[in-house]
Structure 1
Amino acid sequence: MADAQTATQAPNVTRREDYNEPDWRVPEIALDLDLDPAATRVRTTLWVERGGVHDRPLRLDGDGLTALSVKVDGAETMDWHMDGPNLVVPLSGSAHTIETEVEIAPERNTQLQGLYASSGMLCTQCEAEGFRRITFFPDRPDVLSRYKVKLTADKTRFPVLLANGDPIAQGELDGGKHWAEWHDPFLKPSYLFALVAGDLVANRGTFTTMSGREVQLGIWVRAPDLAKTDHALHALKLSMAWDEKVYGREYDLDVFNIVAVDDFNFGAMENKGLNVFNSRYILADPDTATDYDYDAIAAVVAHEYFHNWSGNRVTCRDWFQLSLKEGFTVFRDQSFSADQGSAAVKRIEDVRGLRASQFPEDAGPLAHPVRPDEYIEISNFYTATIYNKGAEVIRMMATILGPEKFRAATDLYFDRFDGTAATCEDFVQCMEQAGGVDLTQFRRWYSQAGTPRVSATLAQEGGRARLSLRQLVPPTPGQPVKEPMVLPLKLKLFGGFTGRPMCDEQLILLKEDAQELLFENLSETPVLSINRGFSAPIVVETNRTAKDLAFLSAHDDDPFARYEAMQQLMLDTLVTSVTNGGTDHAAVIEAVRNTLTDSALDRAFVAEAVLLPSDSFIGDQMAVVEPEAIFRAREALRADLGKALEAEWRAAYEGSLANRFEYSPSAKGARRLKTVSLGYIAASGAADADQLAFDQFSLADNMTDRQGGLTTLVNGASPLREEALEAFYQRYQGNGLVLDKWFQAQALSTREDTAEMVERLVAHRDFTLSNPNRARSLIGAFSVNQRAFHDVSGRGYRFVADQLIALDKLNPQTAAKLIPPLGRWKRFDEARAAKMRAELERIVATPGLSKDMFEQASKSLD
């Protein structure tokens, strides 16, 4: 059960300014675990050393542990006491050996933190503070230790015993038990500890490092899933080679293992030498995984492997520095993914994700800096700001330094801080030293929350043009006044008549509130291309006309800027339609036609460029979100695009029909454009659209096409809709990961009865709140369905609040991450806002509420 946090209790707040060095360090730890789902015995030996001159006792963090015995220097002692959940041992000398024994029950651990049971195996998740649920320890990231681990378990039930590091010994015991010992020679914090015990098989491989060492690789899964692991193993090898080539980082152990787990709060975990993964980011075959799934698996495998250096060999001093490892590693995995396929499409996908999750976070009650100043529950800071905005901060520094200096800076960082717990400041100082730059002002990206807004006005004056730039960082909770940021803006001018570049791309560092640039000797009217490649994570407002945007969507030589111009044209049209009623769609239709029929463009890029902005992103542009009006305006534009360009959509669709499954950039692009085209054909009202969708669904040789057909049908009213849903369920009812797609497709439906349908699905025999993936697939998906969730009746708010209160009793961490959609109540009309706020108040008033939920819900009320 969760630790209770009643609404009347004042929660403990951890503040960055209060950081102190550890009183005691633990250079060595030995763990002996006798594993059993009902009762696991954990015997721990700590070699502790006093840090500095003081007389403070040894304090060991615990959570739900009972000390069965405590020894100091080999002798039983009673000179200890409990301070709440923590063990306190007075010590007089400078170095001691401490032995403790506790008993825990993994099968009752529904929080999925610490040691828990999942689908017949035992596994761990210790980030951020899960190790204290296994044994008493100073559970903080700046206490670095070398670990020796002995695992003992029933051999029939748990034939495979894995832990961090390299295996050093194993053997048999009486009573059908066996044991295995593992040693990790590298210092690591407790959050990187891991073990897995289960009836597993491995897809094995090898990798030869750049120094010639052979590393044994293993992807461990249940036997029926073995055939679905080839893609993950291949991605791991690619990642290891890429990190050597791009960053010069070589793997350092003799083995590297990954284990797939069904019940997992995160996507994956980078535990040293033993990564534990949510199954959705390991298992893939054409019948059950979409192209998105394949891409996500490769990205997450890369991300966790890259952590071996950016997170493990160099870790965080404290949790306020979380983006030191996560932002940097997201940047690394994004760069890796860009190198594996279309860099332009990858950048589009990353920016779309940033705008969908991080921009709203920055504009809401939960806004916080990339390096926060305080928290109640650290798990609540595993956010889009820490990860995705943090990656953009790294990208900006890489842009400012350039490739060679950035590589020199990362080499300096890894070499200087190897084996230590570092800070964001340490990283920035390495950028300055190796790059020869002053990043004093740039550091505000770490301390100021909020998404900067830049207005860019280009005015022609005869043969010259003046570009006026202004920046504003809006107020956020606790930060009403902001200082100017350093904004690296890539820009270029194009001739409005010829389409030719009128200057080379320039990198401008906007550092002041306002700045002007002058362009001379212009022979024709210029059109501005700005924030090319999304060089800064900002909102840009320009005086470009619809004609200018349409022009750039056809002529800009930067793929992202070309995409951005199309999206801005669509967005402007839709916002005007919502605020002023119907509007002319001709400019959008013609721009889409030009893109759709440009044979020189990659089909994956075309598919991204012709997609309309989402309902939620349209709402983000408005002072007051109007869900129903936004939905109607978007559907009207989709219908007009479908009708006006029906011949072009059908040509694009039919051009991809012969595409049989292969995982390649060209094949993925064809499948993507195929389903996008199908959606527009359906939007046109074509008589055969439902049959086309059903045929795609039923005849598909891969999940991407099958899900594309199903999603199109789910949004409509055809009798084929129910037939497809039933067929999909019958085919995959034994596969939890695929059933998540079935639940999610219905939760995201644009139909008027979606709220009613989702309420029924909660009672479905395959729905459970105990599995985080399943909860996210229905509750999480529904809460971002703007039209359905924000039904004016308020039933969507009540439904989600009910589910989160129930989920909090099982898994506070997962529940708390689903709060943000309710917290955006200030963006809506008074009636909706009142209903959303009432549900937040009901959550906060719930007896026994976890501190995870209390923090998120109470902050959302501000």
Structure 2
Amino acid sequence: MDIASRPADSDENTQIADAAPPPQAPPVIRREDYLPPAWLVPEIALDFTLGLTATRVVSKLHVARNPDGNGASTLRLNGDQITPLAVRVDGAAVSDWRLDGADLLIELSGDAHIVEVETQVNPAANSQLMGLYASNGMLCTQCEAEGFRRITFFPDRPDVLSTYSVRMTGDKTTFPILLANGNCTAQGENADGSHWAEWHDPWPKPSYLFALVAGELVSNHSTFTTMSGRKVDLNIWVRPGDEDRTQHAMDSLIASMKWDEETFGREYDLDLFNVVAVSDFNMGAMENKGLNVFNTRYVLADPETATDGDFDAVEGVIGHEYFHNWSGNRITCRDWFQLSLKEGFTVLRDQLFSADMGSEAVKRIEDVRILRAAQFPEDSGPLAHPIRPDSYQEINNFYTATVYNKGAEVIRMMRTMAGPEQFRKGTDLYFDRHDGEAATCEDFVKAIEDGAGLDLKQFRLWYSQAGTPQVSVSLSHEGSTATLKLTQKVPATPGQPDKQPMPIPLRVALFDRDTGAHAGEKLVVLDKPSDTFTFDGFAKPPVLSINRGFSAPVSIDFDREAEDLVFLAANDDDPFARYEAMQNLVVQHLVTAVSGGLSDETRAAGRAAIGKAFTAILTDPALDDLMRGELMILPAEGYLAEQMLIADPGAIHTEREALKAWLGRECADDLTALHDRAVAVPYSRDAAARGARKIKNQALVYIAAGNAQEGARRALDQYRAADNMTDRQGAVLVLASLDVPEREEALADFRSRYEGNALVIDKWFSLQAGSFHPEVLANIRKLAEHPDFTMTNPNRVRALYMAAAVNPKAFHDASGDGYRLIGDLIRRLDPINPQTAARFVPSLGRWRRIEPVRAAMMREELERIAAEPSLSRDVREQVSKSLG
């Protein structure tokens, strides 16, 4: 019996779990144990004979003893689920090689040799999508972090840098396009109907940056002239029929190349840059040198099939992977503990790029919302780790919001303290010092320290300490002086019970209550457990705006009156601080309500304050609509749960929905007027039209919450009239949560209209799984049986099940069915794709912060997963830490 179909309480399941041998924990790899490689590989030549079910690989490694190594005579070549068919050293076959687990060991004397290894792999059977695999008749690779060892034996670690020469031979009909890293140096045809291509990448790189793609592809071609006058050929490669949806990706690539030259002085270094869109992909995209492989969702975009958010995501991810050419490729990581060296820095670079391409204010709010939704819970849970971890069992589990998003915030703090010009001097020094090297986070910090003239000795704690710092704030006033007192605490996290105070840069401004203005922003740095700062010239107590621009990734504890928050929501000239005031106003009210601390009178007063601020947002003529749309969004339920030591998800959902409905009724006239105004704005990609679509969809959410019939009518009208995906998806999002006839009409039409378009059908799944419909869990289970659903495509799995896992109504259903849904998925998916399966474990791992009844059910699901005898390293590490 398939374990996914066993009843949760079956005797058979219990017997199997009891009889299974205790699982063996994966070995722990520690940063402090790092040793340089004994052997280097300055050059490697790869010869591929391509086939979907059988690809032969002959690798020729020029190995040289590392003068900084330990002098060992043993050459260790990592492997994973491959077997050597032949081994040669200096041209002669050898038989005294041996396997140590999955690794190939060869004894060598002398200082330099040529080692050849022949292997054969089956790409079609590779459901893990790591290494060389097949995707809809195409061959492609994903080698980060440790996928190259699934192709051939090699010292698969990021501090072994090699120049690569690649030859590919394959059937010309099956594989008409043959791509690899670098520049194509030769190509030709064979008499048997096959053809070949040779590629050379002149820049030394680690094996995780190797890439190969072969298949039926067409390209959108353009060129870019660099700042030194070199012409670079650009190609966006896609399946035939998709090329019309690639222009935005091409425009984004050209914009990112120009921006990186102007902002960071970085020029592209090859004659060719290729991007390939793949439909089966575990990640968003991969920065392989000169040949970026992308998930199709971050390449294909046109108004009919992509929302404004999708357009922004394509632009941001295209930029992110291109920026890796310097912050990740030309300078790579010494070891995987340094992952944030490339990812944190590159996330900051893509954030700055997107801010310059669009609205800086809106982009900053979006980035903080992502950080709070994904990273703050990580920092306060069982999987908390520093941005430079000290140990791991499976490196795939450390591609986390902490490494990426918090890593970016830590570097942003350095930029804030240094200023943009001095920060640029630091990054220039970093690129100059370490070009062509495998570097460390310490190398980066030292370059910023030296180049920008900062003392970052204490700041380095941000790299080694986990947890979100909590800053307590009080403001007193006496005479004409305002005194700001700040106290910091970094909470205990697994393995780190005691923390040292860290430097926390906080941008602050003090507003005059009468004029609604301030005398200028100041930067204060809290680098002690507690400190005070004084400000003169205030006849009356001022209103404090703190952590403006979210200058530090901290949690602010500041007990202030609702009238001050209403004041800031209406008057603060810092867009993020204005957004934060509105969020805090709602958070204070909802947290108190969930905790049972509101009488009828205080509930009415709290709602009135929120309604006053909300009305000001809806009607303020000075606000642009993109910003207005951000200010209209209520705090997410997950973020509300983070404000409580123990959260009751059911109560949070009830109170938040009640407030949304109250606002929909209380502000009905302003919301309908806003919706009517926005409906009249024709489609375009300019900021005004994008803002109109944003407020149109936000207004529709509130209208439907306050009056389901009116909301359904307007949503169906909007759906029928839509000439773009933003309007169409916004209407379906509202209808999917309503128990009304219009819901079925829209969902059926949506699927029929886009049948065969995988990315839009993903939306169809996620809109339903993420809805607040009364039967959402039953609907999800039906969707899992739908002919369009498959467990082998990560995008489709995430569309259905990740939408369910982040949907508080479905996941935290009082019956526990939501937890069982995700637990069943993890067990079914792990044998197919452990990397994707492991991404679902953290949703269950939050059980300690949830009320006891639900917590027990969440823990029970983790225990059921842990009882599986053959869990992958990816899932077992996540589960054991979540239970530990």
Instruction: Tell me, yes or no, whether TM beats 0.5.
Output: yes
Deviation at 1:752, TM superposition (A): 2.6
CA distance in 2, matches of 1:535, 1:43: 52
Find 1:461's aligned residue among 478, 483, 504. Answer: 478
Deviation at 1:845, TM superposition (A): 1.2
* 1:805 alignment partner in structure 2: 827
- 1:693 partner letter: A
Residue 755, structure 1, aligned to residue 777, structure 2: yes
Residue 256, structure 1, aligned to residue 256, structure 2: no
1:224 aligned counterpart, secondary structure = coil
Q: Deviations over 1:654-707 (max 9, x none)?
A: 111122322222221110000001111111216432111011112100000000
Deviation at 1:214, TM superposition (A): 0.2
Q: Deviations over 1:780-800 (max 9, x none)?
A: 110111122111211111111
Residue 72, structure 1, aligned to residue 69, structure 2: no
CA distance in 1, matches of 2:72, 2:735: 70
Q: Which moved more, 1:5-14 or 1:794-803?
A: 5-14
Q: Which moved more, 1:433-442 or 1:371-380?
A: 433-442
* 1:543 alignment partner in structure 2: 559
CA distance in 2, matches of 1:320, 1:665: 40
Contact 1:6 1:848 in 2 (8 A): no
* 1:730 alignment partner in structure 2: 752
Q: Which moved more, 1:643-652 or 1:700-709?
A: 643-652
Deviation at 1:79, TM superposition (A): 1.9
CA distance in 2, matches of 1:150, 1:668: 47
Deviation at 1:497, TM superposition (A): 2.2
Contact 2:739 2:774 in 1 (8 A): no
Contact 1:7 1:854 in 2 (8 A): no
Residue 202, structure 1, aligned to residue 224, structure 2: no
CA distance in 2, matches of 1:686, 1:79: 75
Map 1:645-724 onto structure 2 (within 5 A). Answer: 645-685=667-707, 687-724=709-746
* 1:233 alignment partner in structure 2: 250
1:67 aligned counterpart, secondary structure = coil
Q: Which moved more, 1:622-631 or 1:267-276?
A: 622-631
Find 1:384's aligned residue among 401, 410, 434. Answer: 401
* 1:848 alignment partner in structure 2: 870
Q: Deviations over 1:148-187 (max 9, x none)?
A: 0001100001100000000000000121100000000001
- 1:189 partner letter: P
Task: Output the TM-score relative to the length of structure 1.
Answer: 0.99
* 1:837 alignment partner in structure 2: 859
Q: Which moved more, 1:46-55 or 1:369-378?
A: 46-55
Deviation at 1:55, TM superposition (A): 3.3
Find 1:445's aligned residue among 462, 466, 477. Answer: 462
CA distance in 2, matches of 1:179, 1:225: 26
* 1:151 alignment partner in structure 2: 168
- 1:413 partner letter: Y
Find 1:346's aligned residue among 337, 343, 363. Answer: 363
Q: Deviations over 1:384-405 (max 9, x none)?
A: 0000000001100011111111
* 2:615 alignment partner in structure 1: 593
* 1:508 alignment partner in structure 2: 524
- 1:361 partner letter: E
Deviation at 1:7, TM superposition (A): 4.8
Deviation at 1:6, TM superposition (A): 7.4
* 1:273 alignment partner in structure 2: 290
CA distance in 1, matches of 2:855, 2:653: 19
* 1:607 alignment partner in structure 2: 629
Deviation at 1:525, TM superposition (A): 2.3
2:242 aligned counterpart, secondary structure = helix
* 1:57 alignment partner in structure 2: 74
* 1:131 alignment partner in structure 2: 148
Deviation at 1:11, TM superposition (A): 1.4
- 1:26 partner letter: V
Map 1:451-600 onto structure 2 (within 5 A). Answer: 451-501=468-518, 503-580=519-596, 581=598, 583-584=603-604, 585-600=607-622
Contact 1:55 1:92 in 2 (8 A): no
Task: Output the TM-score relative to the length of structure 2.
Answer: 0.96
Q: Which moved more, 1:216-225 or 1:577-586?
A: 577-586
Q: Deviations over 1:612-647 (max 9, x none)?
A: 111111111122211221112111211121111111
Q: Deviations over 1:825-845 (max 9, x none)?
A: 011121111111111111111
In structure 1, list runs of 5 or more residues that go unmatched: none
CA distance in 1, matches of 2:525, 2:485: 13
CA distance in 2, matches of 1:67, 1:21: 25
Find 1:33's aligned residue among 48, 64, 68. Answer: 48
Deviation at 1:378, TM superposition (A): 0.2
Map 1:731-746 onto structure 2 (within 5 A). Answer: 731-746=753-768
* 2:381 alignment partner in structure 1: 364
CA distance in 2, matches of 1:722, 1:330: 40
- 1:167 partner letter: C
- 2:653 partner letter: F
Deviation at 1:56, TM superposition (A): 2.9
1:82 aligned counterpart, secondary structure = strand
Contact 1:38 1:105 in 2 (8 A): yes
Map 1:296-445 onto structure 2 (within 5 A). Answer: 296-445=313-462
1:150 aligned counterpart, secondary structure = strand
In structure 2, list runs of 5 or more residues that go unmatched: 1-19
2:241 aligned counterpart, secondary structure = helix
Contact 1:656 1:671 in 2 (8 A): yes
- 1:11 partner letter: P
* 1:14 alignment partner in structure 2: 29
Residue 193, structure 1, aligned to residue 210, structure 2: yes
Map 1:172-191 onto structure 2 (within 5 A). Answer: 172-191=189-208
CA distance in 2, matches of 1:194, 1:659: 45
Contact 1:405 1:435 in 2 (8 A): yes
Map 1:281-296 onto structure 2 (within 5 A). Answer: 281-296=298-313
* 1:46 alignment partner in structure 2: 61
Root mean square deviation of aligned Cα? 1.0
CA distance in 2, matches of 1:387, 1:6: 37
CA distance in 2, matches of 1:110, 1:7: 26
1:656 aligned counterpart, secondary structure = helix
CA distance in 1, matches of 2:522, 2:711: 47
Q: Which moved more, 1:561-570 or 1:624-633?
A: 624-633
CA distance in 2, matches of 1:85, 1:665: 54
1:787–1:6 distance in 2 versus 1, CA, 3 Å: farther
CA distance in 1, matches of 2:544, 2:469: 20
Q: Which moved more, 1:796-805 or 1:575-584?
A: 575-584
- 1:15 partner letter: R
Deviation at 1:455, TM superposition (A): 0.8
2:760 aligned counterpart, secondary structure = helix
Q: Which moved more, 1:122-131 or 1:81-90?
A: 81-90
Q: Deviations over 1:698-731 (max 9, x none)?
A: 2100000000000100111110101111111111
1:263 aligned counterpart, secondary structure = coil
CA distance in 2, matches of 1:38, 1:469: 63
Q: Which has the higher contact order (CA 8 A, sep 6+)?
A: 1
Residue 781, structure 1, aligned to residue 803, structure 2: yes
Map 1:609-648 onto structure 2 (within 5 A). Answer: 609-648=631-670
- 2:591 partner letter: V
* 2:7 alignment partner in structure 1: none
- 2:53 partner letter: A
Find 1:94's aligned residue among 92, 106, 111. Answer: 111
**Which portions of structure 1, spanning 4 or more consecutive aligned residues, are displaced by more than 4 angstroms?**
none
Deviation at 1:34, TM superposition (A): 0.3
Q: Which moved more, 1:458-467 or 1:256-265?
A: 458-467
1:447–1:7 distance in 2 versus 1, CA, 3 Å: farther
- 1:348 partner letter: I
Paired positions, count: 857
